[in-house]
Structure formats: structure tokens, C-alpha cells
Amino acid sequence: MGTFFDLVTVGCFIAVVIGFFVWTDREPRTLLHLLLPGILFAVANQLGNTGSTIFALILIAAGIGYSVMIIRAHT
């Protein structure tokens, strides 16, 4: 874990996990909704490490935005 995208995507994933435990109702349905950003961060990491920087940044931004929407909706 040494590239920029490794650090950013793992940091985003950790933030989503903390957000789930701190600011949501901890329902399994909420966790399933947050599975999508986890997948987006993994794909963005792979794309970023292979050189597709723009697509990786778009996926990271989409994952962050979706996570915020879900966490706000389930507080």
C-alpha cells in the first residue's frame, strides 16, 4: 500500500465504515447501500494504479457523494 490511490481509497473506505457506526441506525439495509461505495473505491484504486487517473477520481467522488447521501438519509 504505497501509491496515492491506495491511501485515498482506503481512507475513504475507513471513513464510510466510521460513518456507518457513528451516524446511522446500523440496519443491514443501510450496510447494503454502503456496499456500492466500497466497490467503487476498490475499482477506483485499481484504475488509479493502472494510470486512469481521471476515471479513478470520478469514481472516488461518486463514492463519497453516494456515501454522504446514504448516511444523511439513515440518521
Per-residue confidence (pLDDT) for residue 63, from 0 to 100: 98
Expressed as residue numbers, the domain containing 33 is 4-73
CA dist list (Å): 69 to 3, 22, 35, 56, 65: 28, 15, 13, 20, 6
Per-residue confidence (pLDDT) for residue 74, from 0 to 100: 86
pLDDT at 75 over 90: no
Q: How many domains does the chain have?
A: 1
**Quick one: pLDDT band at residue 2, thresholds 50, 70, 90?**
confident
pLDDT at 1 over 80: no
Q: What is the pLDDT of residues 3-46, one digit of tens each?
A: 999 999 999 999 999 999 999 999 999 999 999 999 999 999 99
